[in-house]
Amino acid sequence: MVASFTVVVVLLLAACSGSSDESADTTLAPTTTEQATTTTTASTITATTTTEAQPDVEEPGSGEQWDLVWISDSFGGGVAEVWADRIEESEGVEVRVHNYTIGNLDIGNTRFMVTKEQVATSGRLKSYEGIRDELADAEIIVVFGNPRQKCPSDVETCARSGTDSREPPEYHTSADFARYGDAFRDIYDTIFELRAGQPTVIRTYDAFNGMITDWREAGIEPECTASWEAQADAIHEAADEYGVLTASFYDEFNGTNHDEDAREKGYIAADGFHQSHDAGVAAQVEVLHALGYDPIIP
């Protein structure tokens, strides 16, 4: 028995600035359009219906087709296409990329896009009305979200590059990011409803930090590291409740103690904030790929 795979990835910038309103669409401006990545395969194999708890999956190299839907802000820019190539190389499948990279997208607006049956009748959000249909057909889903308006306001001072002296935030824990974690739970609830009974690979990731040297010079490293870790903990805690695996970009970029400079590794772009589009993107792809593609059944 075989199953065709669809991949959906939701990735967002880690920051707390700006306004977020699930009913508003002013921040949602797509930076890229849907696009396809193809490879030469013998044929496309479609999914068959089964009542078994764990359907057999087509063996790699079969020529089946996976759809990769990528929903992201700039922290995920360029990752979808490279990951698609990595999947094709290792799994022997054809991957079609549907790329929704949206600058400054936050978890509240992502939740709105995923959970609302009708996103909007006009305006920018109308462009994303097909996302729920794509999720319903998806068997690999990766979700990440920017905590804007879902985290303590003083964390904003950490979410930018710059060495200027400034007041540090309080020492925060994941409890201070409870609303952030709850937004992920709402998204997982919707995905589980849309994918009920169907084998699905669901992933999330935590945010890397390109600004640790700036924090040190500004005198805010301990407090900002605690806040970054609290944000990551909120992501992990929500994911663990649903059996979702978390790709730790934070550990890869900054080491397991979160005190390594990702810029020195070549992972950070010239702006000192985003991932570089060579070594940085490659590192993100390998962390995602290392988790494998074993599904759960919502």
Predicted TM-score (pTM) of the model is 0.79
Average pLDDT over residues 164-170: 95
* Helix (H) or strand (E) run with residue 6 in it: strand 5-11
Average pLDDT over residues 188-211: 91
Domain ranges of the chain: 5-290
Report the pLDDT value the prediction gives residue 62, as an integer from 0 to 100: 57
Contact 219, 213 (CB under 8 A): no
pLDDT tens string 255-286? 999 999 999 999 999 999 999 999 999 999 99
pLDDT tens string 19-77? 444 444 333 333 333 333 333 222 222 222 233 444 444 444 456 888 777 877 788 88
Report the pLDDT value the prediction gives residue 279, as an integer from 0 to 100: 98
Pairing of strands 65-72, 94-101: parallel
Report the pLDDT value the prediction gives residue 84, as an integer from 0 to 100: 86
In 3D space, the residue among 54, 95, 99, 60 whose CA is nearest the CA of residue 76 turns out to be: 99
pLDDT tens string 109-123? 888 888 887 555 555
Q: 125 pLDDT band (50/70/90 cuts)?
A: low
CATH 3.40.640.10: does it fit domain 5-290? no
- Lowest mean pLDDT segment, chosen from 3-12, 139-148, 232-241, 277-286: 3-12
* Helix (H) or strand (E) run with residue 181 in it: helix 178-194
